[in-house]
Every structure is written in C-alpha cells, then in structure tokens.
Amino acid sequence: MKRKITFQSMDHSEPIERHANEKLNKIEEMLKDSEWKTPMFMELWLKANKQHVHHKAELHLKTPQFDLNTHYENADMYFAIDNTIDKMVKLLKKEKALLKDKEQKPETKKKAFADDKYTLS
C-alpha cells in the first residue's frame, strides 16, 4: 500500500509523522484482512493554520472499490489525526458492509431487467 503524509503550512515533524504512521497501520491492517488484494493509496494532509490555533487533518483512501475522504479540525494536531483516522475506520467498516450486502443480494426480476434493458433480442 502506498502512503503519503503531507505537511502543509508547517515544518516536518518526525514525532507527528511517527504517530500518524502508527495510526495508519490500523487502516492498513483492516484492508489486508479483507478479500481485496489490490493496490491502494492513502494520503494524509496535515494543515496548520498560522493565524489561529486550529489545525486540520484530512485523509483520502483510494481503492478500486471505493474512494473515501475524512477530515477533522482541532487545536491539537495529534487529536485531529486520531479523530480523522477513527472516522475513516468507521467509514471503511460501513463501506465494506455495504459491498458485502450488495454481493449477497439475490438476483431479482427488476435487477435483471435493468441490466438487460439495452439488449435487443
């Protein structure tokens, strides 16, 4: 899995990067446990605000099955990172459940008609 951490309007901080990588491992483990063995990309943006003590963390997760985005703002960057990643874990669980439900749905006449509506026989 490719991962990118970008520091915007702030200097690179090794402790913050280490903390973010530890938290991102949680998401990576969730995806490794799933049946998808496809290339994935995670991008974490850490944005500091120079005028206010209000920092923002944004996380983008891209896979062939879905594209998820979360963000959180707080005065503490570590807290913003934690909440952003927790939100992503919840979204990921929800998305995986939706995909599983979609795969397990039985074939209906309506669905068969919708899939076949442009086929002329």
**7 domain-assigned:** yes
Q: Which domain holds residue 65?
A: 2-105
**119 domain-assigned:** no
pTM, 2 dp: 0.78
**Domain at 24, CATH number:** 3.30.160.100
pLDDT per residue, tens digit, the chain (121 aa), is 789 999 998 899 999 999 999 999 988 888 886 666 566 899 999 999 888 888 999 999 998 878 999 999 999 999 999 999 999 999 988 888 887 777 776 666 666 666 665 555 5
Domains held by the chain: number: 1
Q: How many Cβ atoms sit within 10 Å of the Cβ of residue 85?
A: 23
Whether residue 38 contacts residue 100, with contact meaning beta carbons closer than 8 Å, is answered with no
**115 domain-assigned:** no
**86 domain-assigned:** yes
**46 domain-assigned:** yes
